[in-house]
Structure 1
Amino acid sequence: MSAQAPSSAPRPEKRPHEDTRHGVTRTDDYAWLRAENWQEVLKDPSRLAADIRTHLEAENAYQEQFLEDTKGLQKTLFAEMKGRIKEDDSSVPLKDGPFAYGSAFREGGEHPRFFRVPREGGEEEVLLDGDGEADGRAYFHIGTVDHSPDHGHLLWSYDDKGSEFYTLKVRALPSGTDLEDEVENTSGSGSFNAGGNGFYYTRLDDNHRPSKVFFHALGTPAAEDRLIYEETDPGFFMNVVDSRLNDWILISIHDHETSEYRILPADDPHAAPRLVAERETGVQYDLEPAGEAFFILTNRDGAKDFKIMTAPAADPSPATWREVVPHEPGRLILSLLAFKDYLVRLERKDGLPRIVVRERASGDEHVIAFDEEAYSLGLIGSFEYDTDVFRFTYSSMTTPAQEFDYNMRTRARTLLKTQEVPSGHDPADYVTRRLMAPAPDGALVPISLVHRRGMPLDGSAPCLLFGYGAYGITIPAAFRTNPLSLVDRGFVYAIAHIRGGKDKGFAWYEDGKREKKTNTFTDFIACARHLVAEGYTSHDRLIAEGGSAGGMLMGAVANMAPRDFRAIVAGVPFVDVLNTMLDDTLPLTPPEWPEWGNPIASREDYETIAAYSPYDNVADQPYPAVLAIAGLTDPRVTYWEPAKWVARLRDHNTSDNPILMKINLDAGHAGASGRFSSLEEKALSYAFVLKMVGIEE
């Protein structure tokens, strides 16, 4: 296969647009690719201007031309990845009162069906058939699916554009008939009141911001819904959740560093929400209802890695908070679940997750132990409060996901399900390792990796290095079936646990944001160079991959260390950082300022972002091969960011390496909908990766 790009790369017209901020003037030749009517396009892609659509279609045609000789390989990869998915897979139902609720796929199905079974035995009752609802739609994604406390109704939502404007609907049970109640332009989730005769939800404004919470009484027009709370600060996200005892409705208001809660009794739809603790910049707290009390996970009073407090439900104001689990530097408490007699927390210590169970009455604690060197844990929880059992998941890069029920009283662990890999998987055929790469400032950056057992460490193996590094999100060392298509072809698959995530505590996150953002990029480059130094790969066999904020990482390292990588795969890449942070009409811009800085108000923030923003720092140099993947109706990373970036890369690239873009004209941030349709995009990106290292089958 030839790795050189065809000569007919799209060259969009240059229409210089000047922007002056803080006395600095920048010229953007491709600003016109941003549709002036982008809000309309999110809801109706046919409204996209003809000249922009023509260019995007040309990008797709060029990408298809370059990868034409991989069509057979793409089909092979798709078949492999599909073959590792149990087509009729189902969840282990969770018990709630007289029923247990779960989801399942039918063989060949793209979307789940949701069902319940009587707790004492009986026939399965299908509540919602995702494949049936998706029939005839180019894109379809189910948001929330939740039953009412009396089990008489189902609240569900869908998005059929990829723009994340969800429509909420209500289904009567057991008849399965949707009521006339329908609410459009919501965030996709909602919570029933205690009586089950209405629900709370968050409505999105024209700029895709969750600005208002409403209560909808069943049987009434949506236009008559009662406004419960309006958030006037566009910099804050907002969502509504309920409690497992169905006694509270919680309105969570937050950005990336500050939070606030307002609560109201779930049995009184006319109640006004009550403030718990007023927002204070940099102070976060989460509420966990627990009968007559609340548990509060917070970083208040300098608890950087968080502590757990409690307060009476009758008055949960900060003056009543008392400490339950103190702050311990280096032990990051991630989440908690409260039960009648126990408190369960998921925390990260020494770079690894662990689950701690605490008896509420005595304060006695025990840790659920695991043996592997690197692994991933997750809390599933329970619909029920008065129970001794909760559910969790476990996996590693070699061990398929396992689901357990854990009895907090007897400490018995019951394996409920192990992820099936129908095409076969033997963990003994693989090796998982955890390395520490030295960063330029001396920090040690963890790397989790997996490869075939017996692979020689002589630098000859190709490697895919994945990174993210933003918002405090930790990329777990979990089992993933798709990368096996690379690993079984001799690849090393590695994850760089770089700063910007919370892999080594909250300070690890702080050291990778705002004025310290470049640590994220230099950490990733350090991981790449460490893998080469240790013999796992070589620079001409090394592929970098990241998506969204990880796509920004891809753009930054392409500018900073282009010769370190053979190719780069950037999914929905946030690469036009400065222009986006200067546009306060975009959905996520004001809420993102705490993460990146506000270049409108601050010259210092402007200069910081301008110094690394990938689009603004493209230079005349030999870039590696690039594949950017985008979605037209993406409200998070708008399509024009990768479109502009690719155009500018072509202007400045001095190598013969291809610069490609694949844009899904029927999807948004998450790509194609459906569990198998999304594999087609993954097969395309893996075919590109394999072509770049000369593997043809």
Structure 2
Amino acid sequence: MTHTPAETAHPAAPGTAPGTVPQPPQARKVPVERAHHGDVFVDDYEWLREKDNPEVVAHLEAENDYTNAVTAGQQPLREAIFNEIKKRTQETDLSVPVRKDGWWYYGRMEEGKQYGIQCRTRASDTGDPAADWTPPAVEPGTPVPGEQILLDGNAEAEGKPFFSLGGAAVTKDGHLYAYAEDNAGDERFTLRIKDLRTGELLPDVVENVFYSLAFSPDGTRVFYTVVDESWRPYQIKAHTLGTEVTDDVVVFQEDDPVMWTGFDLSADRRHLVVGIGCSEYSETRLLDFERPDEGLQVLVPRSERLLYDAEPFMLDGVQKVLLTHNKDAVNSMVSLADLAEFGKPLAEQRWATVLPHDDAVRVNGAGVTATHAVVSVRKDTIERVQVIPLEGLGTPDQAPAAEPDFDEELYTAGMGGSDYEAPLIRLTYTSYFTPPRIYDYELATGRLFLRKETPVLGGYDPSDYVAERAWATAGDGTRIPLSVLRKATLERDGANPGLVYGYGSYEVSMDPGFNTARLSLLDRGVVYVVAHVRGGGEVGRKWYDDGKKLQKKNTFTDFVAATDWLAASGWTDPARIAAMGGSAGGLLMGAVANLAPEKYAAILAQVPFVDALTSILDPDLPLSALEWEEWGNPIKDAEVYAYMKSYSPYENVRPANYPRIAAVTSFNDTRVLYVEPAKWVAKLREANTGTEPIVLKIEMAAGHGGASGRYEGWKDRAWDYAFVLDALGARELL
């Protein structure tokens, strides 16, 4: 049976009073057999999945009690890190306004408040494009003339255990504001609509919607998505204002359990663009708002097994489609076609090349403004933006792509949201030590206008830190890119603590980005390494393909190779290295804990996907069927089953001297269920032959992203970092 920690006389555990050590709760064993492909696995802790079982809740609360007791001595360090984050943050701040339909939209934060406030103020039309598209100067703490508050997250959150804004939209005439809020952390939102002329809420309320929201151009309907029982977005629905929710129309429904469905409006708002896809192929359908009775038009059907995105727009009076696709292009390319071409068989369609395939350049996506195509690409691991004039697009007269020029080696530049009619595009820019910047890039001239750099207080100087590229070598000879961050004054004396961070799934890239909290690690001498392992997207599509399905183990061995590089680099003491990762990166943490527990002083696994095989074997669990394109289908394929079982962390826990481990999760997480780390921790403790504590920290009123509110988020990050720093013996500032 479960029980709460008891105090007994033992040598002190880290962070506890001398002479006592708390005892971990022990989950009782209830053997359950899981049989697939002739293999039988006995799972003693599957009963912890019973979320409504009072015994399960009591066990999780006992886990928190144990964690609090074991880490009590870290509280001063947590408070110090929290205060360091707070000291560096300008708590009263505003975003750079974005112009849309005659208004400037922006968000602001106020000191002492947890949540953002969404606002707008009127734009002017003087006929001078430079003036009309220069955002108004806004200063923290200074009232913005003509400000109208759309939504105050602090007022919305009052009296509620959790608050998160899932999506928002404004009608073209600026009269109505739709927003979706989550008060549990389970990412199922309630849609409400506010009349901005009166401040009153309309009676229209739609429960259990997903993230995307958009109004039809005439403002009479709002589109939203719905998830099925497995938490897969499968329906797009339209609610007509003033009607009963039961009358909402299903615009599209996707019944294939491996396909994810979403939508957006085209940049020119002539079409609803419905995207259906998985990681390997997709399908786009268009609804013409001027001809709604014609229904949805399929562009390239999924049966062609192409992975593509589409942006419809008008060019010289002809309806065109800009395609980002992988047809004969593993890294994708950009093509242009008349919309009419998609009525023909694929082999007969005529597509003009806009951006050809390049083995060294991954094309992420493309969109349009009224005058230019805008393309996101990745080259040398770095995300960047290119622009091409629409005039002559896809013809021999097409102008070459232009690219904003930045002076750092490791940075990230991406689209920041721009109006279709704007003569400029909004760019976001950041690097490991450059706080986020907002630029406007003038399309006609290529000039960059710096609109804002996020202030960092407390005497922050980027020259105090260094970010360098290094390379580890995997066992198969593959070179693994690393981003190595440290204090500039650090001595290369082999005595410093180190931390390796990784993810490595879903073609997601761990791009350079500023992180205020991370400075608290670096200021204590930690050498922080981002391991850009296979399974991510940093080095093109093949890099992803080489770290998924039956090559997934490359992700784990790449991370161990990155750890070995750090241990041998001369920067760190090999006995003072920790590992950290979250979600699919938490699976990575579980895998390396089994592969090489001796290489780490501590492992921090955030919302970790550590019982992957159990989850994916159950198609009724949230997102399981969608995961088959990432990991393979172990239900139907015996080889996939055997391969997954050979690395899934839970099945491979073994007698070993495990390092200090913390699994951090949330009770209402719908992406990685709390039961995965709960079972994993119970099994680790059972097998552990070492003496280091293994703890589970669970937020009982939160979701995949942890607790809501910025201060609560800072506390979560301070807890994580204090756990690592304590294990590394790096509690003090340099």
Normalised by the size of structure 2, how large is the TM-score?
Answer: 0.91
2:14 is aligned to: 3
**1:168–1:188 Cα contact (<8 Å) kept:** no
**2:22–2:66 Cα contact (<8 Å) kept:** no
Partner secondary structure for residue 12 of structure 1: coil
2:529 is aligned to: 494
**2:472–2:482 Cα contact (<8 Å) kept:** yes
2:73 is aligned to: 69
Q: Mapping of 1:454-473 within 5 angstroms?
A: 454-473=489-508
Q: CA deviation at 1:450?
A: 1.4
1:43 is aligned to: none
Q: In the aligned structure 2, how far is the partner of 1:168 from the partner of 1:508?
A: 39
**2:67–2:696 Cα contact (<8 Å) kept:** yes
Are 2:601 and 1:571 equivalent residues in the alignment?
no
Partner secondary structure for residue 599 of structure 1: coil
1:24 is aligned to: 39
1:390 is aligned to: 425
State the Cα deviation string for residues 265-308 of structure 1 (Å, max 9, x = none). Answer: 234555521211111475211112322322110112x2110010
Q: Which is further off, 274-283 or 523-532?
A: 274-283
Q: CA deviation at 1:423?
A: 2.0
**2:404–2:448 Cα contact (<8 Å) kept:** no
CA RMSD of aligned residues (A): 1.5
Q: In the aligned structure 1, how far is the partner of 2:573 from the partner of 2:361?
A: 36
Q: What letter matches 2:55 in structure 1? A: D
Q: Percent identity?
A: 38
Are 2:226 and 1:215 equivalent residues in the alignment?
no
Which of 326, 331, 337 is the aligned partner of 1:299?
Answer: 326
Which of 658, 661, 669 is the aligned partner of 1:626?
Answer: 661
Are 2:117 and 1:117 equivalent residues in the alignment?
no
2:166 is aligned to: 143
State the Cα deviation string for residues 131-186 of structure 1 (Å, max 9, x = none). Answer: 11011111110011211112111110011111111111111122221111111111
Q: What letter matches 2:14 in structure 1? A: A
Are 2:100 and 1:89 equivalent residues in the alignment?
no
Q: In the aligned structure 1, how far is the partner of 2:550 from the partner of 2:147?
A: 55
**1:194–1:267 Cα contact (<8 Å) kept:** no
Q: Which is further off, 83-92 or 193-202?
A: 83-92
**1:467–1:550 Cα contact (<8 Å) kept:** yes
Q: What letter matches 2:389 in structure 1? A: E
**2:667–2:674 Cα contact (<8 Å) kept:** yes
2:438 is aligned to: 403
1:683 is aligned to: 718
Q: CA deviation at 1:410?
A: 1.0
Q: In the aligned structure 1, how far is the partner of 2:228 from the partner of 2:290?
A: 28
State the Cα deviation string for residues 294-348 of structure 1 (Å, max 9, x = none). Answer: 2110112x21100101122455454243322111112101122312221121211
Q: CA deviation at 1:598?
A: 0.5
Q: Which is further off, 500-509 or 85-94?
A: 85-94
2:372 is aligned to: 342
Partner secondary structure for residue 609 of structure 2: coil
Q: Mapping of 1:660-671 within 5 angstroms?
A: 660-671=695-706
Which of 59, 69, 94 is the aligned partner of 1:55?
Answer: 59
1:203 is aligned to: 226
Q: What letter matches 1:153 in structure 2? A: L
State the Cα deviation string for residues 185-234 of structure 1 (Å, max 9, x = none). Answer: 11122211110111111112233222221111000111110111111111
- The structure-2 alpha-carbon separation of the partners of 1:629 and 1:282, relative to structure 1 and needing over 3 Å to count, comes to farther
Q: CA deviation at 1:51?
A: 0.6
Q: In the aligned structure 2, how far is the partner of 1:586 from the partner of 1:614?
A: 19
Which of 201, 209, 212 is the aligned partner of 1:186?
Answer: 209
2:6 is aligned to: none
Q: Mapping of 1:160-309 within 5 angstroms?
A: 160-267=183-290, 271-280=294-303, 282-291=305-314, 292-300=319-327, 302-309=328-335
**2:549–2:632 Cα contact (<8 Å) kept:** yes
The alignment covers a number of residue pairs equal to 684
2:337 is aligned to: 311
Q: In the aligned structure 2, how far is the partner of 1:85 from the partner of 1:262?
A: 44
Q: In the aligned structure 2, how far is the partner of 1:523 from the partner of 1:282?
A: 30
Q: In the aligned structure 2, how far is the partner of 1:496 from the partner of 1:473?
A: 13
Partner secondary structure for residue 208 of structure 2: strand
Partner secondary structure for residue 612 of structure 1: coil
Partner secondary structure for residue 366 of structure 1: coil
**2:209–2:226 Cα contact (<8 Å) kept:** yes
Q: What letter matches 2:163 in structure 1? A: F
Partner secondary structure for residue 455 of structure 1: coil
State the Cα deviation string for residues 460-500 of structure 1 (Å, max 9, x = none). Answer: 11112110000000001111111101111111122111000
Q: Mapping of 1:438-587 within 5 angstroms?
A: 438-587=473-622
Are 2:407 and 1:374 equivalent residues in the alignment?
no
Q: In the aligned structure 1, how far is the partner of 2:636 from the partner of 2:444?
A: 54
**2:14–2:73 Cα contact (<8 Å) kept:** no
Partner secondary structure for residue 381 of structure 1: coil
Structure 1: tracts of 5 or more residues without a match: 39-47
- The structure-2 alpha-carbon separation of the partners of 1:228 and 1:199, relative to structure 1 and needing over 3 Å to count, comes to same
Q: CA deviation at 1:388?
A: 2.4
Structure 2: tracts of 5 or more residues without a match: 1-11, 125-135, 137-144, 392-397
Which of 350, 360, 381 is the aligned partner of 2:390?
Answer: 360
Q: Which is further off, 105-114 or 353-362?
A: 353-362
Q: What letter matches 1:297 in structure 2? A: T
State the Cα deviation string for residues 425-454 of structure 1 (Å, max 9, x = none). Answer: 101111111101111111111111211112
Partner secondary structure for residue 174 of structure 1: coil
Q: Mapping of 1:588-607 within 5 angstroms?
A: 588-607=623-642
1:44 is aligned to: none
State the Cα deviation string for residues 75-129 of structure 1 (Å, max 9, x = none). Answer: 1111111222221121111111211111111222211111111112851111111
Q: What letter matches 1:368 in structure 2? A: P
1:331 is aligned to: 361
Q: CA deviation at 1:682?
A: 1.0
Partner secondary structure for residue 403 of structure 2: strand
